[in-house]
Structures are given as structure tokens and as C-alpha cells.
Amino acid sequence: MSDLSSVDSRVPETGRVPEGSAREKRLAEIWETAPGWRGWLSTVDHKSIGLRYLVTAFVFLLMGGVEALIMRVQLARPDATVLTPEQYSQLFTMHGVTMIFLYALPVLSGFSNYLWPLILGARDMAFPRLNALSYWLFLFAGIFLYSSFPFGQAPNAGWFNYVPLSGLEYNTGPNIDIYALGMVLLGASTTVGSANFVVTLIRMRAPGMSIDRVPVLVWGTLTASGGNLLAVPAVSLAFFLLWLDRQFGTHFFDVLNGGRPLLWQHLFWMFAHPWVYAVVLPAMGIVSDALPVFCRRRLVGYTPVALSTVATMVIGFIVWIHHMFATGIPALALAFFGSASMVIAIPSAVATFAWIATIWTGRPVFRVPFLYFAGFVLLFVIGGVSGVMTAAVPLDWQLNDTYFVVAHLHYVLLGINVFPVIGGVVFWFPKFTGRMMTERFGKLTFWVMFIGFNLGFFPMHIAGLLGMPRRIYTYSGDMGWNTVNMVTSIGSFVFAAGVLMFIGDLVWSYKRGPAAGKNPWDAPTLEWSVSSPPPPYNFATIPVVESGHPLWEERIEAGNPRARRSVLDEGMILDHGREALATRALDGRPDAILKMPGDSYAPFFLGLFATLLFAAMLLHIWWLAFATLLGFAASLVAWLWPERALVQREPQGDALG
């Protein structure tokens, strides 16, 4: 790695020039976002966008959690009347939409947006303005969906939205139209963000960071992004076709006119099952990169774990029909998709054994992030085992549409996502803020959340085995479900208390936490080689790496006099504006210097006009739709308007030589 100094005796500093130097000041002027509301609306800085994703996703997590607690109050006792059936249907649907679509993936996008350029040794994402657009579309889509609540018209056919229940003949209000258009808008956000991640990995790595030196977090997000590019169009098409059925009398899902209701399930689950892995694989990447730091050793089996990450998504595209085993599909399809659903447990087992072996052969340090990562491993096993159980067709027929499936879903989508996310927040909180979170209170928070989660969701397995169906708003007192429902409700509130404790700790630490220093965990990856929080330009000198653990390797080889400088170095002409290094896909050798776009209001207005267009379509205000199209076009022109000195320079010499 290039340009090392001995500012910190434990971890050498990378990519920094002396504080206060004219070159660093000029870099800050070029890359820094303008202060005030103008900068807030126009910034394309990946760090600001990443933090916005994290904060917004946590707000949606709290909203989804409140919806869940209200439902658990309704279900705590038999024959309760806290909610009407329609109110329960709307809460049930928006809870699923919120947790699955507005929290689970966006929160992981927040981590990746913030960390990817720092981990990869780059100055920004490949398409900074596209990055900003993905956030604004996500935010506006969430607001669009939640704007239905004050009018009592929230989506009400379940987050899976099966037809014909969601068809016009059974659901005449605007509830489903809001859901359909909101999901198309959210799909656009996911698609542009995923494309940005893929290109960033291919082109924006530090010199020397070959494909076999990429951290597992990057592998996880890359695999999820590739899967989203293939899967999201399916669900966007399904919702658009449903909107056409409801608004213009088409018959894509109308069986009386030659349509196929089962087509909805195929299109939906061709998206939704890969989506499960999209919200799990980046979380697994967080664990694979951060857990070894607390075990004081490298991850056992890096290559098998990286390959298993990709294999999980590949197999995930051929198992969607295990959500449809009870729909009367042919026996041959049942056999094929049931087998594929069991095979997918193999790559998951590879990662699980790698984590256990890393802990077993390392010297674990029981800090707060380690507790969340170790707890995740247990929850991952429980959720995985219950998933394999439902892959067996005869057993699935018995458990289908029972609370056993609800329990499995929450262990997978909540336990396997939330625990790595909170562990990751604690781990990278020093990088985000320059401060540390509390240790003793953090451990107490973990145990409250861990006990509350298992107390709340494990009894759902028992309720399902006792025959309790999902999606019911009340039940009779003589069904034998009273105790398990009361325990589940109590556990849900305990878990919610743990989440609130974590939020409180987060706010307190942000204001009063002790200073963290540059690398408080002694971690090996590049994001810890710059100051905390990082400067606007990330790296004054782009580092050159020679291993997958550059900070540890550099300390091991401290006596080695090799100090290599990269292409964007002292000879860089700062008057060219924002520049970033492009490298080749496989070996990480530099091949171009790219001109990066500056801050712009265009992403904000593109997202705003897109949302207004969908609102006009919902309300049938066609003159407003036409006006928003004009605004959309003007914003697009502003986006593409050429900046001064748009040049692409070839790097001089060999940065690795």
C-alpha cells in the first residue's frame, strides 16, 4: 500500500498528506459539499447518501415495528377488538411492505454506499448522481406508500398482494393502486442503485485489488445487486400489469377472460425469493468481514465463502416455486423445485462453518459487535433449518399458511438482517462519527434484543404446529393458541425495548461518546486507513494494495522498504476538478483517470417529478402528469448538461510498478 506514515503506532495511515497542506485543502474544496440546504439537496457524496439511507431505513424500521406491536396487542388475547378486520389488513400489509422493501435492503444499501468506495480505495461510486437518484426515489416511494394511511386507504391485500383478492372485483378502493405504483417507483430506485454497485466494483477498485482480494461485504452486495437487476423487473411488470387490469380493464390476471391468476404468483416469487437473499447476503458479508476482526485472525475459507455467496443467489433463482407447492402445480415441478430448495442449504452451510471455524481457531474478544455477529450465527442456523423443513413438499403442505412460516420468515428477514446490521452500526460507528458507542450498556442492549427476539418469534413455530393460520386478525379462545400468542406478544415488546435502547445509545454516543481514533478495532481493511470521519475526497493519494488485509499485512511487513505511489498523486493537476481512478475488472490494474460529476439538484428533481407523475396517475389528473413529464425532461437535461473541462486522462506510467 502506498504513501504510509507512522502517525498511529498501531496502524499506519494511508492515503493522507500532511494536515493543512495546500494540496489537501484544494482537494477538500473540490470534493466538499456546499453547506446549508443547497448542499443537502444537491450532494452526490456517497458518505452522505449512505448515512441518509441508514437513517431513513431505521425510521421505517421503527414505523414497521409500531405496526407489528399494534397487531401483537390485537393477537395477545382471543376475541380481541382493538382493530377491525380492515384496519388489521392494512397494518399487516404495510408492516410487511415496510420491513421487507423499505427497511431490509435499503439499510444494507446504506452500509454499502458509505463503505464501498472506502473499502475499495476509491473516491466515490462510479455514478454519483445515479447514487443520489436511487436515494431520492427510495425516500419518495416510502412517502408515497405511507401517504395512504391518513386517508384510511393503505394497501390491504398482504405484502404478497395475491390476485384475485387484489383485483378490482374484490378491492375497489385506491389501496392496491397505491401499492402497485409505489412498488414500481421503488423498483426504479433498486434498479439504478444495483447498476451503480456493479459498475463500481468492476471499475473503481484501488490498484492491486484484484478480484480475489475484494472483501466479502463487497461480494455480498455485488451478488445482491446482480440478482436485483434480474429480479426486480419481474415484480415491476407484475404490479404494472395489475394496475392496467384495475384501471383500463385488461385481463392479465382475470380468469373469466382468459387471464391467469397464477401468473401473479410466478412473477411475484420470481422476484421475492431472490430478494430474500438480496437482504441476507450483504448482511452475511458484514459478518464475514467484521467477525474476524474480533477473532484476531483472517476469515477461514475466504474463497469458499465468496463462491458460496454467488452460488446462493444463482440457486435462489430456481427455487421460487417452493412458495407455490400448494397451488396444484405438476408433481415433476414439485420434485425439481423441492430438491433445489434443499440444495441451497449447502452454500449457506459453507458460510456457517467458516464463521464457526473462525471463532474456534481465533482468539475472540467479546466486544458488543462480536455478540451481535455470534448471535446472528445462531439465528441463521434456526432460520435455515426451518427453511429446509418447508422445502420438503409433504411437510410444506401441512405447514403452508400457518404461523410456522411466519416464524421462519422473521428469523430469515429480521433475525438474519437486523442483528448483523446493528452489529455493523456499532462496528462502523467510529468511522461514521469519530466516536465510540458504549460497551456495558451495549452488551445489555444485545441481551435484551436477543432474548426478546427469540421469546417473540420462536413460539410462532409452535403456534404453526398447533394449526394457527397466518393472516387472521382474531381467534377463538378454545383453539389452544392463547399461551403461545401471549408469549409472542410479550417477547415482541421486549425486543422493541431493546431496539429503543439501541437507538438511545446511538443518539447519546453521537453527542457524547468518547473519541474513537482512526482504527479503534485494529481492523485490516482500507476504510480504517483514513481519518474518522473520512475527508470529502476519501483518499488524497489512492492506495496500492497487495493483499486482502492491507493494514495487517503492512504491519507484518513493517520492515519492508517498498512504498509505492499511485497515479492520482503529487503530479495530479487539481484544476481538472473531481477525478477518480478506473481499474481493470480482474487484476485491478489502472487504465484511466475519470472525470467525476459535481453536485447537482437534478437527481432530487428527477425523483420528485417521477413521484408526482405517479401521484397524477393515481388520481387520474392527466394535465398534472403531462406537466411532470416536462419537469422530468428538464431535470434530465440539467443532469446531462456538460460540465467544464470534461476530460478523461490516461494514467501516466504503471501505478503498480
Per-residue pLDDT of 6-33, as tens digits, reads 323 333 333 444 445 777 888 888 888 8
**Short-list 450, 568, 572, CA closest to 123:** 568
Cell 404490479 -> residue: 239
Provide the pLDDT for residue 24. Answer: 80
Q: Which residue has the cell 430469515?
A: 412
What does the alpha-carbon distance between residue 571 and residue 645 come to, in Å, rounded to a whole number? 18
Is 613 found in the same domain as 500?
Answer: no
552 and 438 belong to one structural domain: no
Domain limit, last residue, from 481, 512, 543: 512
Specify if 468 maps to a domain: yes
Pull the grid cell for residue 137.
426515489
Task: Say whether both 228 and 340 belong to one domain.
Answer: yes
In this structure, is residue 413 part of a structural domain?
yes
Residues 558 and 496 in one domain: no
Phi-psi group of 2: left, alpha or beta (phi > 0 → left; psi -120 to 50 → alpha; rest → beta): beta
Interior angle at CA 205, CA 201 and CA 206, nearest 5: 170
Whether residues 467 and 343 share a domain: the answer is yes
| Pair (462, 378) in one structural domain | yes
Residue 644 is predicted with a pLDDT of 65
Distance CA 552, CA 26 (A): 31
Would residue 27 count as lying in a domain?
Answer: no
Whether 141 is covered by a domain: the verdict is yes
Three-state DSSP at 620 gives coil
**Partners of 594 in beta bridges:** 580
Q: Respond yes or no on whether the N-terminal peptide bond of residue 164 is cis (omega within 30° of 0).
A: yes
Residue 333 lies in a domain: yes
pTM over 0.75: yes
**pLDDT at residue number 556:** 54
| List of residues 6+ apart from 71 with CB closer than 8 A | 83, 88, 91, 92, 95
Rounded-to-integer distance, Cα 651 and Cα 638, Å = 30
8 Å CB contact between 533 and 433: yes
- Are residue 618 and residue 570 in the same domain, yes or no? no
Q: What is the pLDDT of residue 13?
A: 38
Give me the CATH number covering residue 247.
1.20.210.10
**In the chain, which residues have pLDDT < 50?**
1-19, 558-567, 569-573, 646-650, 652-657
H or E stretch covering 483: helix 482-512
- The C-alpha atoms of residue 536 and residue 28 are separated, in whole angstroms, by 6
- Compute the chain's Rg from CA coordinates: 25
Instruction: Quickly count: other Cβ atoms within 10 Å of residue 22's Cβ.
Output: 9
Give the 3-state secondary structure percentages of the chain, helix then strand then coil, rounded to 5: 65, 5, 30
Residue with cell 500500500: 1
Domain that holds residue 638: 602-650
Residues contacting residue 409 through CB under 8 Å, at least 6 positions apart: none
631 plus 591 within the same structural domain: no
Pairing relationship of beta strands 579-583 and 590-595 according to DSSP bridges? antiparallel
CB-CB neighbours of 480 under 10 Å: 13
Angle, alpha carbons 368-281-178 (nearest 5°): 105
Same domain, 381 and 245: yes
Helix residue ranges, H only, 43-174: 46-75, 85-97, 105-120, 128-146
Same domain, 592 and 609: no
Q: Look at residue 518 and tell me if it is in a domain.
A: no
Among 461, 480, 512, the domain boundary falls at 512
386 and 481 belong to one structural domain: yes
Contact 548, 302 (CB under 8 A): yes
Q: Tell me, yes or no, whether 495 lies in a domain.
A: yes
Q: 543 and 575: one domain?
A: yes
Q: Which of 566, 585, 601 is the last residue of a domain?
A: 601
- How many domains, the chain? 3
CA–CA separation, 390 vs 380, rounded Å?
Answer: 16
Asked, for residue 532, whether it belongs to a domain, the answer is: yes
